[in-house]
Amino acid sequence: MDRVKITRLLLTSLWLLFVLTISVAVSAGDEEKLTGKTANINTADVEDLTQVPLITRDLAERIVEYREEVGDFQVLEELLQVDGFTYKLLERLRPFLLLEGLGGDDCTC
């Protein structure tokens, strides 16, 4: 009986170690630090927007197209109306995105 308990304890410990290792690895991937240029989403052209990390040329074109059709962005969350722009992407890019004109200063609202 002691041998069975020891085996179960060992297997449980190994399983827990495995799960914790995977959890730490996944969390570490989410914490990747981004570097790149900032851009004012109300004045930037496609080339400027592609200098922002994670913004592809296709997404930059959709951002500019949306702005030309609807007008200047009032809040950063309005980017969620652009096809392909997700909440997770917005949160990751918030430090790189500026809004012009709120109170006369650039704003990272």
Residues 43 and 66 in one domain: yes
SS3 assignment, position 54: coil
Q: Are 9 and 2 in contact (CB under 8 A)?
A: no
The CATH number for 77's domain is 1.10.150.320
The pLDDT profile of the chain, 109 residues, written as one tens digit per residue, is 677 667 665 656 655 555 556 555 544 555 578 888 999 999 999 999 999 999 999 999 999 999 999 999 999 999 999 999 999 999 999 999 999 854 444 455 4
Phi, psi of 99 (to 5 degrees): -115, 135
- Distance CA(76)–CA(25), nearest Å, equals 30
Please tell me the predicted confidence (pLDDT) of residue 62.
98
Residue 104: what pLDDT?
43
Considering its fold, how many domains does the chain have in total?
2
Is the same domain home to 101 and 56?
A: yes
d(CA 63, CA 76) in angstroms, rounded, equals 12
pTM above 0.85, yes or no: no
Residue range of the domain that includes 90: 39-107
Specify the amino acid at residue 89.
L
Q: How many CA atoms lie within 13 A of 41 on its CB side?
A: 32
